[in-house]
Amino acid sequence: MSGPTYFETIIRNATDIAKNGFAKDSQKYSILLILTDGEIEDMEKTVEAIVAASDSPLSILIVGIGDANFKSMKILDGDDKVLTSRSGVKSKRDIVQFVSLRDIGDDMIKLAKATLQEIPRQFLAYTEWNKIKPKAPFDSEEKKA
């Protein structure tokens, strides 16, 4: 891992896959995992990309590794205030979860919980926003018929 750290392109690519890779009624949801050791270099463009992605079936998990200053990652997380683009467009929902490995230590269970804890809420916010109702559970016997 080495700098510089740019997120905009990967977030836009993940958004395209999440939006266009599946039919709307397929009930698929994507999670982008980013491991980073550095301070973000393209903050404004990244905020724009996240705000644009906030209506897509996507969550973004960012895990900070090392001793870098992760202040900007905490801003992207959107827990303290709604992420807003430079032009004033607000994120439709929180899709980012940031966790600093430095704060977690060696406890992998604690890391998993901290990283994944917001996914159910983000997923439900997406389905409610889009009025998506769950399909009936898949029945393998039904498929054979």
Please give the pLDDT value at position 1: 55
Is 2 inside any structural domain? no
Is 30 inside any structural domain? yes
Q: Is 128 exposed, middle or buried, given 0-12, 13-18 or 19+ CB atoms closer than 10 A?
A: exposed
Q: Which of 33, 32, 104, 97 is nearest to 66 (CA)?
A: 104
Residue ranges making up the domain that contains 55: 8-144
Is 41 inside any structural domain? yes
Beta bridge partners of 16: none
Please give the pLDDT value at position 79: 79
Is 85 inside any structural domain? yes
Residue ranges of E strands in the chain = 30-36, 58-64, 96-100
Is 1 inside any structural domain? no
Please state the pTM of the whole predicted model. Answer: 0.86
Is 17 inside any structural domain? yes
Please give the pLDDT value at position 27: 76
Those residues of the chain that have pLDDT short of 50 are none
**In this structure, what DSSP letter does residue 90 have?**
B
**For residue 88, how many C-alpha atoms fall within 13 Å in the half-sphere facing its CB?**
0
Please give the pLDDT value at position 4: 81
Total domains in the chain come to 1
Contacts with 128 (C-beta within 8 Å, 6 or more apart), sequence order: none
Provide the edge-to-edge strand list for the sheet that holds 96-100: 30-36, 58-64, 96-100
| Alpha-carbon distances of 10 from 21, 30, 46, rounded to whole Å | 15, 13, 9
Q: Is 25 exposed, middle or buried, given 0-12, 13-18 or 19+ CB atoms closer than 10 A?
A: exposed
Is 3 inside any structural domain? no
What is the Cα 136 distance to its own chain's centre? 26
Is 47 inside any structural domain? yes
